[in-house]
Amino acid sequence: MSTLRRLLLIVTLGIAASLLSSALRGTVPGLCPNVIGERPCALVAGGWPVRYIVDVPGISVEGSINLLSAIGSEDSFLVGAWLQDVAYWSFGWAVLGWAAGRAKKPARR
């Protein structure tokens, strides 16, 4: 397999894993609207290891996030965080592929 095909496969697997990780929920610190102004609170967020979909208080149903509502602007889609998440997943796939290739090759003497 050529180097370009390997790179494309690794990046494609990284994108797929990142998009699937949007189902994993957590929280991020943020600001929620209040009568007086804004108050610090924990916002529901999706993605792992980097949270790249964040619930926007007051726009979407509070406490719910998904990829489609992020694309539809109900939730916030953080492009920089998503690219970082794709990079983490791609690196993981690259290490896994490297380890699998090393396991196949017999040791040189």
48 lies in a domain?
A: yes
Provide the domain limits for residue 21: 3-103
Task: Name the phi and psi angles at 96, rounded to 5.
Answer: -60, -45
Classify residue 24 by its DSSP letter.
S
Q: What is the mean pLDDT of residues 8-19?
A: 96
109 lies in a domain?
A: no
Q: Long-range contacts of range 55-64, CB-CB < 8 Å, 24 or more positions apart?
A: 57/30, 57/32, 57/33, 58/33
Predicted structure pTM score: 0.84
108 lies in a domain?
A: no
CB atoms within 10 A of CB 75: 24
- Structure tokens of 72? 């539809």
65 lies in a domain?
A: yes
Tally of domains within the chain: 1
* Whole-angstrom distance, CA of residue 102 vs CA of residue 54: 39
Beta bridge partners of 33: 38
pLDDT one-digit tens code per residue, 21-75: 999 999 999 988 888 888 999 999 999 999 999 998 877 787 888 888 888 888 9
Helices (H) and strands (E) in the chain, counts: 3, 4
91 lies in a domain?
A: yes
